[in-house]
Structure 1
Amino acid sequence: MYLLYVMGAILLGSTISRLLLGVPFNWALEMSQFILSAYYLLGGAYTMQLGGHVRMDLFYSRLAARKRAVTDAITVLFVIFYLVVLLGGGVSSTNYAIVYGQQNYSAWAPVLWPIKVIMTFGVFMLLLQCISSFFKDVAAARGRPIA
């Protein structure tokens, strides 16, 4: 949550520097993008744990609790598949960035491996939370909910 304050301070400092001193920070936009990426990828698993994700609710609320659990167990399998593919790509991309010292093509040219490590870790944590949700949904569908 505090990353948003860091991002705001970077953007505010860049704006003040550009307006008052006429010297913009050439790294501010990229750094704020990196911070925002870390914020939402690391927060995804925590938000899922708290049940804070938004659902498209046309028929879901009308279902009985066990049918909702079956629906959730089926749909989370698609999310798990997606996250496994995304994690594979993230590990590959992170490995490439570390081995070859990949840098962004900009005036600042930061190395990309730190943000790629954070992003891959966030995807991994979300995958673990989805697996946990799957087992909780299966247990609820069987009539034995897990706390």
Structure 2
Amino acid sequence: MPLLRAFVRAVDALNEHFGRLVALGILAIIALVVMEVVLRYVFAAPTIWGTEVITFLFAGYIMLGGGYTLLHRDHVNVDILYGRLPPRGKATLDVLTAGFTLLYCGVLLFYTGRVALEALATGRTTGTDWNPPLFPVMVSLPIGAALLLLQALSRLVADLHRALTGREIAR
């Protein structure tokens, strides 16, 4: 049990710290959007790179923040039955549905990993006028998927403990 508790603590801490760091990225995205809007509509001089950078940053932001979002149970949830269950019932239902989450995370990690490796190996670019390499954003995808998978495993351990004992795992 101490090993599982240490695993849950480590993964939760990793996603907590990484999520807070990634959250600061929204400030850069906001600044770039404001800059691009001002350049486009006030000066009639949009950049050729602004939209792509914003898109890349937002994709990384979404993927890298997935583990943090799962840690805080902020993903979309159908609450018709779940919201009425006691904590132990919620944990039991989470354990029963964890297989779907883990399967999704595993498939996501596999395919984003393949795409990232391909982008690194081939030097793939966007093909636009600016034509930046795709690997920076592509590498963020499997990292985010791995963080999400680790958090799903941590959540499964914590939910299994609560479902079996009725108590939250000591963190």
Q: Same fold (TM over 0.5)?
A: yes
Name the SS for the 1:62 alignment partner: coil
Displacement after TM superposition at 1:39 (Å): 1.4
Which residue pairs with 1:53 in the alignment?
75
CA contact (8 A) 2:161 2:169 kept: yes
CA contact (8 A) 1:139 1:146 kept: yes
Displacement after TM superposition at 1:7 (Å): 1.3
Q: Which amino acid aligns with 1:75?
A: T
Answer yes or no: is 1:80 the counterpart of 2:102.
yes
Q: Following the alignment from structure 2 to structure 1, what is the Cα–Cα distance between the partners of residues 63 and 111?
A: 15
Answer yes or no: is 1:98 the counterpart of 2:154.
no
Q: Which runs of 5+ in 1 are unaligned?
A: none
Which residue pairs with 1:145 in the alignment?
168
Q: Which amino acid aligns with 2:125?
A: Q
Displacement after TM superposition at 1:23 (Å): 2.1
Q: Following the alignment from structure 2 to structure 1, what is the Cα–Cα distance between the partners of residues 85 and 42?
A: 59
RMSD, aligned CA? 1.5
- Per the normalisation by structure 1, the TM-score is 0.91
Q: Following the alignment from structure 1 to structure 2, what is the Cα–Cα distance between the partners of residues 145 and 62?
A: 19
Q: Following the alignment from structure 1 to structure 2, what is the Cα–Cα distance between the partners of residues 53 and 10?
A: 26
Runs of 4+ in 1 over 6 A off after TM superposition: none
Q: Which amino acid aligns with 2:25?
A: L
Alignment length (residue pairs) = 147
TM alignment of 1:1-147, pairs within 5 A: 1-143=23-165, 144-147=167-170
CA contact (8 A) 1:98 1:113 kept: yes
CA contact (8 A) 2:116 2:141 kept: no
- Per the normalisation by structure 2, the TM-score is 0.79
Q: Following the alignment from structure 2 to structure 1, what is the Cα–Cα distance between the partners of residues 160 and 24?
A: 35
Q: Which amino acid aligns with 2:107?
A: V
Displacement after TM superposition at 1:50 (Å): 2.1
Displacement after TM superposition at 1:140 (Å): 0.9
Name the SS for the 1:51 alignment partner: coil
Q: Following the alignment from structure 2 to structure 1, what is the Cα–Cα distance between the partners of residues 40 and 100?
A: 46
Q: Which runs of 5+ in 2 are unaligned?
A: 1-22
Q: Which amino acid aligns with 2:82?
A: Y
Q: Which amino acid aligns with 2:72?
A: L
CA contact (8 A) 2:113 2:141 kept: no
1:109-131 Cα offsets, whole Å, 9 max, x none, are 11111111111101110100000
Q: Which amino acid aligns with 2:141?
A: M
Q: Which amino acid aligns with 1:115?
A: V
